Amino acid sequence: MKLKNRQGHLMSQSELEHSETIPKICMVSPATHAGDISTRYFMPQKPHGSLAVSGGGCLAAACTLEGTVAYKQLGDVARLKVAEGRYQVAIENPAGVLDIELLMGVIISIA
């Protein structure tokens, strides 16, 4: 994997090993328990123990966008009631379930 830092230079292996900000990648699949979708979130050094809140917000938003992988993996898109402009997404992760409530694309509460 080749990544550039903020100055546009290729990051060294040491920089990647100590980076806490990039890259952050997640894999998604249909929910297997109490959630709407399941994810595994990765950092450069190791898999994340749960799910970063920022990643959860992005994934929740992606669940509402037809054509995204997240939308296709979501169990019941109609349940989100996206047309009402306020929706909740329960994201299964290794630490449990992250409940995200979004209002017109803005996170309004996280439990």
Q: What is the pLDDT of residues 33-91, one digit of tens each?
A: 888 999 998 876 678 888 888 888 889 889 888 899 998 898 667 677 666 677 888 99
Q: How far is CA 15 from CA 25, 42, 43, 48, 106, in A?
A: 17, 16, 13, 18, 32
Q: Kindly indicate the confidence band of residue 92, based on its pLDDT and cuts at 50, 70 and 90.
A: very high
Ramachandran category for residue 34: left, alpha or beta (phi over 0 → left; psi -120 to 50 → alpha): alpha
- pLDDT at residue 24 greater than cutoff 60: yes
Give start and end residues of each alpha helix (H) in the chain. Answer: 13-18, 53-62, 69-73
Query: Which phi and psi angles does 65 have, rounded to 5°?
Result: -100, 105
User: Is the whole model's pTM more than 0.75, yes or no?
Assistant: no
